[in-house]
Amino acid sequence: MVFCGRVNPTTGALDWVEEDEDYDYHQEIARSSYADMLHDKDRNEKYYQGIRAAVKRVKERGEEAIVLDIGTGTGLLSMMAVTAGADYCYAIEVFTPMAEAAIQIVKANGFGDKIKVINKHSKEVTLGPDGDMMQRANILITELFDTELIGEGALPSYEHAQQNLMQERWEAVPHRATVYAQVVESHRLWSMNKLLPINLDHGLIKPPLELQTCPGAPSVCDVQLSQLSTDDFNTLSDIMVIFRVDFSQQVSSTTVSHPVNFTSNANGEAQVVLSWWDIDMDPEGTINCTMKPGWLYSDDHSVPWRDHWMQCVYFLPEERKVTLGEELCLTAHQDDYCVWYTLMKPGAEDSSPVSDERPICHCGAHIIWNRTRFGELNDQGRLKKYKEAMRKVLKPSSVCMCISDGSLLPLLAHTMGAAQVFTVESSSMSQQVMQKLLQTNHLKGAIPVLQKSPEKITLPWHNLYFWYSRSALSDNLVEGCTVFPMSATLYVLAVEFKDLWRIRSPCGICEGFDVSIMDAMIKKSLDFRESQEAEPHALWEYPCRALSQPVKVMTFDFRKTIPVNDVKSEGSVSLVRSGRCHGVVLWMEYQLTEDISVSTGLLEVSNEKGYCQWYPHSKQGVFFLNSVLELGPSSTQTYSSVTYQLTFSPKLGDIEMNFLPNP
């Protein structure tokens, strides 16, 4: 046995937990997303077509087809290559559990004599009689891409392989990649990156100038853009080709900029760059796999679903007013792992001292707040409920202590007439951001800022941090004081997902190859650790149908301190609609007062078919059932409900759960 340090998901404290010696191995397998890629039929078919075409081109030149497959995963692309006529394939996989799985899968499908799986990073692979590869390859197959295309280190890997492991002339699958972008104005997306001014009854909460001019977090925001409505943004440019990468030529990982001049097609505030890419599997571009969002497809064309490749949202460093017909230059700056954008007048980028620098947060807010938190702070509907609730509980004599972590509630309580307001921040960075907010709004000194540690942010769908902090401060609270929010209720809902089920669904046979060994390994690892855990997902991006009514399963009374003993809850969720039940969604609803609450999950079920609308500024918990429940008149199964067993451990700060179908 080994001891693993694990951050308590609710209290933030570091707990030492005894685990099996294979814990890390099973964690890596369980959290891999290979099922999603294997279920991506469009991707698989396009790769197969491209590989067949590449092998054919090499054979027509009278050469042996020697394949180098970097990032082979399950070995699927290598097996495709041998089936297409390749003479030999070197399959590189640095992730040890996957390399071991690939070896077994390759042997099980009868390709052990033509595919060599090498468990190394491609930069460590050696050539020669005593090396990993006997000879250089002339076909380069890769699947090293992420939502941003290059974020997984694709360019350095290509650069090294082409220089050291390939023949002078090679074929590449994919053959090339093209990155597209469009400049838009979007209040919804911009509110995920900047704190916007907030109107109150007696004034305005203004964000610090430093926050408004901060370029923000350097990482891309990957989103299922297909789930955005076209009403959520106003296009200010046409869709533009930003840059291309030709993988049949020598690739460079050197930092480079790609300026593209364009004429704006509308008036507005340029705030956001939407971006995606496609890959041509052949030189002619006849075999194309695209990541474009669903609203760019024609009505008669089905939209391929994939979660391993989504679309990109890039926030410009500052919003910029543009007018119809204005000449502008959008520049993509690209290093070996990252892309970022600037928008200027044509030629101005040459004189800019910062345009080539990767954006880094200098205000602190983008470090303590993630994008869902920005959206939550800017949510006017949620703020309205908080104001209504605070009017019910605040008195001119009220002394308020806000357990804040960057919340706007201290400012709200002060402007609504509380006699004294204190705010407790859990980190020095959060304390600094709050001080900037107070200074900007001329409240420095009016609201004392206290720092309390070590509590930190918690899992996104069952945030009980407030309860732990309130309990820790109980000695500072007068008898009968108002606790706000007063409680939280955990809800569950049985659902049918349109597509999200694929990330946990077994593949068995994929494009004619048996990959069931991978299914067995993932299942074993999930059973080992994760069978009693829910995964956080932003469900506004993943359509689903409700197959039950929402059910209250556990309530946490914040007016009382945290209990000493475990809290248990058992019951069942009745299934009221036909469909395919993939799992159960969990979320919290916070009771501010007796009659006012805010939800972090289900907002409404839209019609008789059960389509769900989810709160977009929080993630929800998803518990996938071990097997899909087929419900309805034509089904041979007769499940009527899903039973649940939940245990909240105050010591661990987590909820252990299990859901089982009930005939």
Please say if 152 is a catalytic residue.
yes
Report, in angstroms and rounded to the nearest whole number, the Rg of the chain calculated over CA atoms.
Answer: 27
Question: What is the rounded distance in angstroms from the CA atom of residue 176 to the CA atom of residue 162?
Answer: 14
The DSSP element (H or E) to which 35 belongs, if any, is: helix 34-38
Please say if 143 is a catalytic residue.
yes
Q: Both ends of the chain: CA-CA distance in Å?
A: 39
Question: What is the rounded distance in angstroms from the CA atom of residue 525 to the CA atom of residue 522?
Answer: 5
- Placement of tokens 């954008």 in the chain: 341
Instruction: Give the Å distances, CA to CA, from 306 to 37, 79, 158.
Output: 7, 22, 24
Instruction: Give the Å distances, CA to CA, from 340 to 178, 312, 554.
Output: 16, 11, 44
What is the phi/psi pair of residue 34, to 5°? -70, -30
Residue 599 structure tokens: 């939800």
152, 210, 318, 533: the catalytic one is: 152
Task: Please say whether the beta carbons of 490 and 554 come within 8 A.
Answer: yes
Residue 378 structure tokens: 């800017």
Question: What is the rounded distance in angstroms from the CA atom of residue 285 to the CA atom of residue 172?
Answer: 13
> What is the CA 523 to chain-centroid distance, rounded?
22
What is the phi/psi pair of residue 324, to 5°? -55, 130
Instruction: Give the Å distances, CA to CA, from 526 to 34, 75, 131.
Output: 14, 22, 36
Query: What one-letter code names the amino acid at 436?
Result: K
In terms of C-beta density within 10 A (0-12 exposed, 13-18 middle, 19 or more buried), how is residue 632 classed? Answer: exposed
93, 143, 541, 589: the catalytic one is: 143
**Catalytic positions:** 143, 152
